[in-house]
Amino acid sequence: MVAWKSRFASIVGGSALAVGLAVAFQPSAAALASPTVTVTPSSGLADGDTVQVAASGLEAGTTYNVGQCAEVEPGAMACNSASHVRITANADGTLKTQLTVNRSFAGVLFDDTHWGTVDCATAQCVVGLSDDAVQGPAPVAISFR
């Protein structure tokens, strides 16, 4: 799971989705907790469904990139740049947002290279989040019907 976490954070945090400057804050009690993310629903999805993404244990006041990605070949993840959200964690280190997910999407690699079509029927798709310093909790696997 650590490999997924670091690859997701590198792509979502290091791509054009992660525009702007990271702001340094003193860690809060919430930030010291192990960050977690949940996606509801995460299975039985249809193309274009909206899922609820919630996270806790984040650094308060930090902006996070929330998105859908998949490992498209060993060591390479491609993300759905057409559907992502930037959101700032609340004072208690939590966030909640909605994200539209797609069964297939035009994948973009961490360096903004267009990879091609990602099909979640053949690749394990995930929803995850990371800050601009490429830190974040492990992503959540999603599946489509």
Report the predicted TM-score, pTM, of the whole model to 2 decimal places. Answer: 0.78
Mean pLDDT value of segment 93-113: 96
Name the residue among 1, 41, 47, 24 with its Cα closest to residue 139: 1
Sheet of 104-108, strands arranged across: 114-119, 104-108, 76-88, 63-73, 125-131, 140-142
Angle at CA of residue 61, ends 60 and 65, nearest 5°: 100
Domain architecture of the chain: domains with CATH: 2-142 (2.60.40.230)
Q: Measured between alpha carbons, how far is 33 from 31 in angstroms, rounded to an integer?
A: 5
Q: What is the pLDDT of residues 46-65, one digit of tens each?
A: 999 999 999 999 999 999 99
Q: Report pLDDT for 67.
A: 97
Statement: residue 4 has pLDDT above 80: no
